[in-house]
Amino acid sequence: MSNVLDAFLTENLKELRDQGLYNEVDPVEGPNGATIQVSGKELINLSSNNYLGLATNEELKRIAKEAIDKYGVGAGAVRSINGTLDLHVKLEEKLAEFKGTEAAISYQSGFNCNMAAISAVMDKNDAILSDQLNHASIIDGCRLSKAKIIAFKHSDMEDLRAKAKEAQESGLYNKVMVITDGVFSMDGDIAKLPEIVEIAKEFDLITYVDDAHGSGVTGKGKGTVKHFGLEKDIDFQMGTLSKAVGVVGGYVAGKQSLIDWLKVRSRPFLFSTAVPPGDVAAITAALQMIIDSTELHDKLWENGDYLKAGLDKLGFNIGASETPITPCIIGDEKLTQQFSKRLFEEGVYAKSIVFPTVAKGAGRVRNMPTAAHTKQMLDDAIAIYEKVGKELGVIK
């Protein structure tokens, strides 16, 4: 290894560890369900994004196996050559139905979507108004586009309006986009989409909603745009297929002309091998399950409300979440790491979240009850939270 690289890594890794900012990766020994096994220990799992429990669904496993038997384990090529299977076409038709749009395009991951779609439409002659708490993939997608990035205060509509007005009246930009998460993953709050749409119409802004944590969760499962009835007012509906949908990949849904453009100008579509057939078949079936029934959605919300009430009653700072996402905000990074470690020792897997995922001094454990959790699991978790919280002085 280069001496320069060795010195850089040694110094910076030590600094991260000293500040409580180094993230340990814990391999899961088996399925990622309501409980998981880590280092041979069975734990109540409160850190998964498997919101509806579909990642381990037996019917989806069967469908994936059948698709593998018929099509093989890989798509074999990029989408634009011959990696587009009839399965991909069916998936995109189902995505458009799911999101209430004319068309949709699927990608290899949600992160890929934001890298692909933003830079395919926006360039150095444009500007992007971006919520300060937007996901890292949005930030990177905006940077890749080379557009002028104008951050507005989190969900502050006065600030957005002022900056939209300034951007349009400056005459410096050919196009201006406003981009926001639908559900903010670390706090669980929902974007003010009706107000954003109103401002977008006033200043002729392109609208882009990243609904990675809303698809399957809000709008009776159809997402945050559907929650507000704004399917005809949002230009880009983007989301992931790896959270509530339970598999892998991402999508953008919108007008047919937008999807046609993304198929010829978005680089991950053109230059990365397509999602494997087993996954595509499972995704399509999972979407149909969400369309057909709200049973899993309703169970998710029931469990989320139950856990929130229990932790709030104990005196934990759970923020202002409007979704099942339930943060326990502790603040100090080292204490947050210690709290997470003690939860692990007592039987709960709730991962510590610290800078740069959240701001410095805003360390937390992010709890994600799912539709697969039982009340007994949640009661056991709440009891462990009480024990560890009092032990470490997080609660009285």
**pLDDT, tens digit, 9 for 90 and up, residues 126-173:** 999 999 999 999 999 999 999 999 999 999 999 999 999 999 999 999
Residue that finishes a domain, picked among 250, 269, 292: 292
Letter for the amino acid at 106? S
Same domain, 384 and 350: yes
CB-based burial label for 375 (10 Å; 0-12, 13-18, 19+): exposed
Beta-bridge partners for 128: 149, 177
Please give the pLDDT value at position 162: 98
Measured distance between the N- and C-terminal CA atoms of the chain, rounded to whole angstroms: 50
Parallel, antiparallel or unpaired: strands 148-152 and 127-131 = parallel
- The answer to whether the beta carbons of residues 50 and 241 sit under 8 Å apart is no
pLDDT the model gives residue 19: 85
User: pTM of the entire structure?
Assistant: 0.93
Question: What is the per-residue pLDDT for 348?
Answer: 98
pLDDT more than 70, % of the chain: 100
Choice among 185, 242, 266, 352 that is catalytic: 185
Q: What is the CATH number of the domain that holds 212?
A: 3.40.640.10
Query: Is there a cis peptide before residue 194, judged by omega within 30 degrees of 0?
Result: no
Domain carrying residue 31: 20-49+294-391
* Residue 36 belongs to some domain of the structure: yes
241 to 283, 285, 286, 293: CA distances (angstroms): 7, 12, 9, 18
368 and 271 in one domain?
no
Q: Active-site residue among 163, 243, 351, 373?
A: 243
- If one counts every other C-beta atom within 10 angstroms of the C-beta of residue 134, the result is 21
Our separate counts of H helices and E strands in the chain read: 14, 13
- 353 versus 23: the higher-pLDDT residue is 353
- Does residue 348 form part of some domain? yes
Beta strands 206-210 and 41-45: pairing type?
unpaired
Between β-strands 127-131 and 363-367, what pairing exists: parallel, antiparallel or unpaired?
A: unpaired
- CA distances for 388 relative to 222, 316, 395, angstroms: 37, 11, 9
- Do 326 and 202 sit in the same domain of this protein? no
Q: Which of 253, 275, 292 is the last residue of a domain?
A: 292
Asked if the structure places residue 217 within a domain, the reply is yes
210 and 69 belong to one structural domain: yes
Calculate the dihedral angle through the C-alpha atoms of 10, 13, 16, 21, rounding to the nearest 10 degrees.
-170
Tell me the CATH number at 309: 3.90.1150.10
Mean pLDDT of 280-284: 98
- In the set 135, 213, 227, 297, the catalytic residue is 213
pLDDT band at 87 (very low <50, low <70, confident <90, very high): very high
pLDDT digits (tens, 9 = 90+) for 231-281: 999 999 999 999 999 999 999 999 999 999 999 999 999 999 999 999 999
60 close to 247: Cβ distance less than 8 angstroms: yes
Is a pLDDT exceeding 90 seen at residue 23? no
Do 279 and 326 lie in one domain? The reply is no
Q: Is 241 a member of any domain?
A: yes
Q: What gap in Å lies between CA 98 and CA 290, rounded to an integer?
A: 9
Q: How far apart, in Å, are the Cα atoms of 379 and each of 123, 210, 321, 341, 390?
A: 51, 33, 20, 19, 17
* 213 is an active site residue: yes
- Identify whether 243 is a catalytic site residue: yes
Number of domains composing the chain: 2
Of 275, 292, 309, the residue at which a domain comes to its end is: 292
H or E element: which one contains 237? strand 236-240
What pLDDT, on a 0 to 100 scale, did the predictor assign at position 186? 87
